[in-house]
Structure 1
Amino acid sequence: MISLAVCSAKGGVGKTSVVLGLASAALHRGASTLVVDLDPQADATSGLDVTAQRAHDVASVMQAPKRRVAEEAVAPSGWVDDHPGLLDVLSGSDASAGLDTPSADEEALKSLRRALKKLDDHALALLDTPPSLNGLTRSAWRAADAVLVVSDASRFSVAAVDRTVRELRALRQGPRVVGIQVNRFNQRSGEQRFRYEELQGLFGDLVLEPLPDRASVPQSQGAGVPLHSLRTRTARSLAAQFDAVLDRVLPPA
């Protein structure tokens, strides 16, 4: 199983929307995927239309990373009509907020990696982290093979990306950064174009083609369906961009 942590040090950039887009791309490709919802808001769990009740959630898994606990926290996404194995979710919980401390010790940071080793019957794991660089995000970094940094094209986000990449590069044997994904981009905004070019100047080829701000994303989320199932021109264009991002992590067979 290849694990990708999707993170941002700043809230409001659409990080979970990027996770849902990648989950849609993986489902469209036929790659068995586990989404790990580490954000205490649990928006990925909701967005993936998880309705099945489980005895455990991601917080209890991280506190007791045993096979039985981990397996009992996984539920199928409603996108696949509750057929387990195609697109599963390690369900999020507001209880995980108690684990998101800046002072988590090394044993606590390794708990997610230990749990995922017991759930390795998927091709891909997508780790949706909270908008911070505290314990939950750092646990995801320990468990991940790769990291995608999500940003918008704003002054404060540029600073957040810089901090995130510096901290990732400082990790010993840390995950590779596969890209910096600018989201909700408005090409007509001079300020956003300036900030996007600023990111390119700082990080070069790591900065991916920006995802435009399109109605297709809230439409798919509101309908509880994957982006790739929408047939509009803008939805197909966005879906192709998510396919290209997924190629950086999980190359086509």
Structure 2
Amino acid sequence: MQVVSISSLKGGVGKTSVTTGLASAALAAGIPTLVVDLDPHADASTALGVSPDDQLDIGRMLRSPRRAHLADNVVPSGWVEHARTNGANGRANSTALSGAPTSVLDVAVGSAYTGIYDRPDLGRRDLRRLSAVLAGAQDYDLILVDCPPSLNGLTRMAWSASDKVTLVAEPGLFSVAGTERTMRAIQLFRQEFAPNLSPAGIVANRVRSGSAEHAFRLSEMESMFGDLLLSPHIPEQANWQQIQGAAHSIHHWPGDSAKNAAALFDALLQNLLHPHGLAQTGTVRNRSLR
């Protein structure tokens, strides 16, 4: 089982879109996956089409983590039924379409209640709350934690429970600067709290192919972060809000644009789970932003 936090210091860079894109690729590949929606806005829960009944949301599970009984409180994503019934025009993996036990995409539902833990002063005991909840997650091969866009308590709680951290950045000045600061924060956090935590890499999201500024910033990110900048980059997707609003996965949306984006997330998931030559120190090269 791998636990991967999806993080960003800056809001609005498409962090939740990357989380759900990776979840879509995992479902298509037949990888039993849990998405933990740790952002108080709970956008990932909405996009994943969950319909909770009497289950506890993740905030209330964090309140009493040793009595949370995770397996009783996760909610199946509505995407699973889409995968079984429509086949995404043949794009999804046959294992995912067959209704086999590996067709698992569950959600620990987000809520505003988690906001009580999004403070900068959480102690070591509080930082272990998510780890205690996820102790009951043995049925999953992959856990994706959608973090809030901050470095407060919830993100640090997620990092404490994670094997890897994936950062999301747009190729723009402020986003790249925020990514550099976040990389340094990860280094400090590893030293003090989580020595086994490693950077899974940086996803360049919402890339515009015709933008000279984006091309310049991508080159700058390659110089600053080296192999930590993951490939492929994710282009700006014009219909992404429509897809998320319909609570569909990118793999189950018609059209060539969605098909191409789905293939990119397939490749990105493979590179995230099986990195080749990726540096594990998370060292940021010494280059100032221009």
- Fold equivalence (TM over 0.5): yes
1:239: how far off? Answer: 1.1
Match of 2:137 among 119, 131, 137: 119
Unaligned runs of 5+ in 2: 83-98, 275-290
1:104: how far off? Answer: 0.6
Partner of 2:226: 204
Would the aligned equivalents of 2:70 and 2:133 in 1 still touch at CA under 8 Å?
yes
Where does 1:26-175 land on structure 2 (aligned, <5 Å)?
26-81=26-81, 86-170=104-188, 171-172=190-191, 173-175=195-197
Unaligned runs of 5+ in 1: none
1:191 equivalenced with 2:213 (yes/no): yes
- Read off the aligned partner of 1:223 and give its amino acid letter: A
Partner of 2:8: 8
Over aligned residues, Cα RMSD in angstroms? 1.8
Match of 1:225 among 248, 257, 269: 248
1:214 equivalenced with 2:237 (yes/no): yes
Q: SS state of the match for residue 224, structure 2?
A: helix
Deviates more, 1:235-244 or 1:127-136: 235-244
Deviation readout 1:188-226 (Å, 9 max, x if unpaired): 122222222111111012112321102242332132211
- Read off the aligned partner of 1:194 and give its amino acid letter: F
- The TM-score normalised by the length of structure 1 is 0.93
Partner of 2:283: none
- Read off the aligned partner of 1:94 and give its amino acid letter: A
Distance 1:231 1:185 in 2: 22
Instruction: Specify the structure having the higher radius of gyration (Cα).
Output: 2
Q: How much identity, in percent, do the aligned residues show?
A: 43
Distance 2:71 2:259 in 1: 34
Match of 1:238 among 261, 272, 280: 261
Would the aligned equivalents of 2:61 and 2:68 in 1 still touch at CA under 8 Å?
no
Q: SS state of the match for residue 62, structure 1?
A: helix
Would the aligned equivalents of 2:117 and 2:153 in 1 still touch at CA under 8 Å?
yes
Deviates more, 1:65-74 or 1:39-48: 65-74
Deviates more, 1:216-225 or 1:144-153: 216-225
Deviates more, 1:74-83 or 1:185-194: 74-83
Q: SS state of the match for residue 194, structure 1?
A: helix
1:52: how far off? Answer: 2.4
Deviates more, 1:201-210 or 1:92-101: 201-210
Would the aligned equivalents of 1:66 and 1:118 in 2 still touch at CA under 8 Å?
no
1:37: how far off? Answer: 0.3
Would the aligned equivalents of 2:62 and 2:68 in 1 still touch at CA under 8 Å?
no
- The TM-score normalised by the length of structure 2 is 0.82
How many residues align? The count is 251
Q: SS state of the match for residue 65, structure 2?
A: coil
Deviates more, 1:236-245 or 1:42-51: 236-245
Deviates more, 1:199-208 or 1:77-86: 77-86
Deviates more, 1:194-203 or 1:8-17: 194-203
Distance 1:150 1:54 in 2: 33
1:146: how far off? Answer: 1.0
1:142: how far off? Answer: 0.8
- Read off the aligned partner of 2:252 and give its amino acid letter: S
